[in-house]
Amino acid sequence: MSGRTPDFYVAPSEAPPSRRPPVTTIGPLGWARANLFSSPVNSIATVITLGLVVWFIAGFLSWAIRSAQWGVVTNNLRLIGSGLYDRREIWRVELATAILVLLTGLSLGIWGRVARAAFIAVLVTLGIILVVPIAAANIPQPTIHALIEPRKAPSDFVFVGYKGDTVRFALAPQTDLAALDEPMIGFVEMQSRAEWSTQARQARSGELDLAAYNLVVSLRLIDSGGRTVTTPDGLAEVRYGADEPGGALEVTLPADGWYVLKVTRDDEANGERDNNQGYAWLRIEGVELFSSQEGQTATREEEFGAPPEIERPLYAEEKAYRFEGTRSFAEFINLQIAPFFERIAMPLVLGTALFVNGWIIGTLGKRERAVRRWTLLGWLVAAPVILIVLRGFGGSRALPLVSTSMWGGLLLTLLLTIVGITASFPLGVALALGRRSDLPVIKWTCTLLIETIRGVPLITILFMAKLIVPFFWSGLSNIDLTIRMMIGLTLFSAAYLAENVRGGLQIIPYGQIEAARALGLNPFLTTTFIVLPQALRAVIPAIVGQFISLFKDTSLVAVVGLFELVGIVDTIVSGQPIYRPYQREAYFFIAIVYFVISYAMSDVSRRLETSGAGSLRK
């Protein structure tokens, strides 16, 4: 260019073709450059943040996989899911869930658009949940350790075995101090653990001489019928004494059922029992600990019968053992994840099948008015039907009463949330419209209600609902605590909703109302068709945000005596002694549950925003 602006310029008749922008300004490279590394300060911040994120996630995963015990969740799924709901009537909760899942599938098929990515993600997740337990079956069980003591009579180890399993019983005398420092990885019998800590301390301080080991121990495996199981070589019993202090008995089990490893200590070999010295670990490999949960015990006894009656049994059950050492990832999958997936696999598969069926019917029948009508009717009818099915009637045989104070866990949380949302939405809109009314009485009443409720913490409202309302109206003191909590939550949510909706109402340009008036629409029609649709659409983020808050605020009813999700987990970890050390795992699990549901609600919010006329919005 010459540098001089020309006096006269005419563009060529054809515009030059559009070109692609330079590479580093678009695509992932361009994104990274623009957002992460756009300036020296940004770059440093990016590196630091990435470092923190990696460190945090690595630390968390290390805890979660290696040392956390997720059994507290797996073993208490029923409590977490429906609280103290009568165990024998759980089918009613399942029926209610089935109805809801079917209706949701139908609705999504008719009115929703499911992104292909979401569909695939769900299928993949389901596949993983089904496959993992099967794959995990091939991962070897951790070793089980039980201590054999010099003067205490040894217990016989009782376990359930399966045909074809190879089990190995190893006797490992502890004869030198070096053995003390070997880490034990696997399940350790809890009393053994306690005893061994004491002895190890004495051995280190010199009070106890480990080398003076002289125990004589025999091991023999018998099946549920009392017959001895032999090794492939024909060996029935192994005996360890002075010449061969330690060794192993390795057997392949011939059938499914109960087995007893008889552990005998020959005291006469040393003269008398008080002459025995030394400690040995019995290491058992290839045996799976069984759960002592009631439902599982019943199933097990159905399958294999009652455990054999013996004098001093040491059962291979979970609650008698504690896992020591850090697990490998394979063990994590096998011990922690697989049982959890196994528990949820069946209900999940059924639920998904129902959902997909509903979705297919909905998609195919999208245009049919009958399908739409029946689905809407279904929703209307479902609410009271579900409540009746869940509650039942006093004196009924088919549907005995399960009072709402027994409802708990996720069931109660969802119930409070759904009722809260459904009831507070119309009430909130009414309050908002009332506050903007021209009639002073309505206006001041609504304002008073809104400001009073907003001025008080939710927990105060819940306490008032529980304690003060019956005090004022004696006729109301018999109302279910659950219903009182629903009323409290509804009022609270409605007041906040009213303000959100009022904000939306304020942004409607007055010209809209003028145009509606000019067309002859009366105030009711104007509000219904012109004002509310626009106002509500404008504040969808705020409204759904309020609903998400409500979902999490339901946890406060735990303070008033209802056991929803947080309350029931609290009961589990503080009430049952064996689960007391596992608070982190339990609370982390319900944090995930809360997160998943809240995120789903946020997603629905986003979809609502971009539907219809909102698709024009950014």
Partner 1 sequence: MDNGNSNEPIIVCRDVNKWFGNFHVLKDINLEVQPQEVVVIIGPSGSGKSTFIRCINRLEEHQEGQIIVDGIELSHDVRNIATIRSEIGMVFQQFNLFPHLTVMQNVSLAPRYVRRQPRRNAEEVALQLLARVGIPEQAHKYPGQLSGGQQQRVAIARALAMQPKIMLFDEPTSALDPEMIKEVLDVMKELARSGMTMLVVTHEMGFAREVADRIVLFDEGRIVEMGSPEHFFTNPQHERTRLFLSQIL
Q: Measured from the CB of residue 13, what is the shortest distance to partner 1 in angstroms?
A: 22
What phi, psi does 188 have (nearest 5°)? -120, 130
The Cα–Cα gap between 152 and 70 comes to 33
Q: Measured from the CB of residue 530, what is the shortest distance to partner 1 in angstroms?
A: 6
Angle between helices 481-506 and 540-553 (to 10 degrees): 160
Q: Measured from the CB of residue 512, what is the shortest distance to partner 1 in angstroms?
A: 6
Is 610 among the residues that bind partner 1 (CB under 8 A)? no
Nearer to partner 1, 205 or 522 (CB): 522
Judge contact between 533 and 505, C-beta under 8 A. Answer: no
Which string of DSSP letters, residue by residue, matches 555-609? GGGGGGT--BHHHHHHHHHHHSGGGGGGHHHHHHHHHHHHHHHHHHHHHHHHHHH
Nearer to partner 1, 373 or 517 (CB): 517
Which residue type sits at 2?
A: S
Is 612 among the residues that bind partner 1 (CB under 8 A)? yes
Q: Measured from the CB of residue 363, what is the shortest distance to partner 1 in angstroms?
A: 23
Q: Measured from the CB of residue 522, what is the shortest distance to partner 1 in angstroms?
A: 7
Cα separation of the two ends of the chain = 41
Structure tokens at 385: 């039907």
Nearer to partner 1, 19 or 618 (CB): 618
Total binding residues toward partner 1, as defined by CB under 8 A: 21
Q: Measured from the CB of residue 613, what is the shortest distance to partner 1 in angstroms?
A: 4
Judge contact between 148 and 169, C-beta under 8 A. Answer: no
Instruction: Return the range that interacts with partner 1 (CB under 8 A); candidates 211-219, 224-232, 253-261, 609-617.
Output: 609-617
Q: Measured from the CB of residue 617, what is the shortest distance to partner 1 in angstroms?
A: 9
Which string of DSSP letters, residue by residue, matches 115-166? -HHHHHHHHHHHHHHHHHHHHHTTSPPPPEEEEE-SSSPPPEEEEEE-TT-E
Nearer to partner 1, 27 or 523 (CB): 523
Instruction: Say if residue 328 is exposed, middle or buried (CB neighbours under 10 Å; 0-12, 13-18, 19+).
Output: middle
With a CB cutoff of 8 Å and minimum separation 6, the contacts of 448 are none
Is 537 among the residues that bind partner 1 (CB under 8 A)? yes
Nearer to partner 1, 255 or 525 (CB): 525
Which residue type sits at 285?
A: E
Q: Measured from the CB of residue 538, what is the shortest distance to partner 1 in angstroms?
A: 10
Q: Which of residues 473-532 bind partner 1 (CB under 8 A)?
A: 509, 511-512, 514-522, 525, 529-530
Judge contact between 287 and 316, C-beta under 8 A. Answer: yes
Nearer to partner 1, 88 or 617 (CB): 617
Instruction: Return the range that interacts with partner 1 (CB under 8 A); candidates 54-62, 139-147, 461-469, 533-541.
Output: 533-541
Judge contact between 550 and 594, C-beta under 8 A. Answer: no
Using only C-alpha atoms, what is the Rg of the chain? Answer: 34
Nearer to partner 1, 66 or 537 (CB): 537
The Cα–Cα gap between 191 and 172 comes to 18
Nearer to partner 1, 271 or 511 (CB): 511
Nearer to partner 1, 397 or 617 (CB): 617
Nearer to partner 1, 422 or 610 (CB): 610
Q: Measured from the CB of residue 14, what is the shortest distance to partner 1 in angstroms?
A: 24
Nearer to partner 1, 39 or 522 (CB): 522
Among 8, 11, 616, 618, binds partner 1 (CB under 8 A): 616
Q: Measured from the CB of residue 372, what is the shortest distance to partner 1 in angstroms?
A: 16
Nearer to partner 1, 191 or 534 (CB): 534
Structure tokens at 416: 């409070």
Length of the chain (residues): 618
With a CB cutoff of 8 Å and minimum separation 6, the contacts of 290 are 159, 160, 296, 300, 315, 316, 317, 318
Q: Measured from the CB of residue 529, what is the shortest distance to partner 1 in angstroms?
A: 6
Q: Measured from the CB of residue 506, what is the shortest distance to partner 1 in angstroms?
A: 16
The Cα–Cα gap between 473 and 230 comes to 77
Is 439 among the residues that bind partner 1 (CB under 8 A)? no
Judge contact between 188 and 249, C-beta under 8 A. Answer: no
Nearer to partner 1, 443 or 537 (CB): 537
Q: Measured from the CB of residue 73, what is the shortest distance to partner 1 in angstroms?
A: 45
The Cα–Cα gap between 196 and 206 comes to 15
The Cα–Cα gap between 498 and 520 comes to 28
Among 313, 365, 533, 545, binds partner 1 (CB under 8 A): 533
Structure tokens at 162: 């399966």
- Dmax (CA) for the chain in angstroms is 124
Q: For residue 245, list its beta bridge partners.
A: none
Nearer to partner 1, 246 or 533 (CB): 533
Q: Measured from the CB of residue 521, what is the shortest distance to partner 1 in angstroms?
A: 6
Q: Which of residues 322-341 bind partner 1 (CB under 8 A)?
A: none
Among 252, 534, 555, 605, binds partner 1 (CB under 8 A): 534
Tracing tokens 């025995």 back to the chain, one arrives at 276
The Cα–Cα gap between 613 and 419 comes to 29
| Footprint on this chain of partner 1 (rule: CB under 8 A) | 509, 511-512, 514-522, 525, 529-530, 533-534, 537, 612-613, 616
